[in-house]
A = this chain, B = another copy of it.
Amino acid sequence: MGVVDRQGVELLDRDQCLRLLARGYTGRVGLVVDGEPRVLPVNYVMDGQRVVFRTGDGLKLDAARRGDVVTFEVDAVNEDWHAGWSVLAVGRAGEVTDPQEQARLQRLPLRPWAPGRREHWVVVDLSDVSGRTFP
C-alpha cells in the first residue's frame, strides 16, 4: 500500500507505473496544436523507459519532429469491479530516423492499431510519470 492522495486514491510510484505501462498496448498521446489540446490513440510498446509507436504523416509526426513535450496516458477500468488504474507520463517526443535503431525497434512486439501505412518511428523519453489506482 502506497501513498494516498487527498481524494483517497492510492498513488503509484514510478516503478509501479512503468510496470503498468509495460503491460499495456494501447495508450493516448496528448499534443498541443495551435494552442489547443488533442488526444490521439496509439498502439505502443515500451523500450526501457521510452514509449515507442509508429505513425504516418500527421499531428503526431509533426510534434515529434518539433521535439514537443507530449503526454502519454494509459488506463484500465473494470466496469463490474469498479476498479481501475491510470498512468500519466510526460516527455519529449522525437522521430527515430537512424536505420539501425529503426531495425532494433522493428523487433519490439508492437501491434498495429489500425490499417494504413505508419512508416515513421516516434519515441517519447518519459520524464515525469505518475499514476493512481482505486480498488
Contacts and interface: CB of A to CB of B under 8 A. Distances in A.
Interface string A85-118: 0101010000000000000000000011111110
A132 to B, nearest CB: 7
B9 A115 contact: yes
A35 B44 CA distance: 25
Nearest to A112: B82
State how many copies of this chain the complex holds.
2
Contacts of A26: 75, 77
Given A7-B116, A9-B116, A70 B134 contact: no
Interface of A: 5-9, 25-26, 28, 30-32, 35-41, 56, 69-73, 75, 77, 79, 82, 84, 86, 88, 90, 111-117, 132, 134
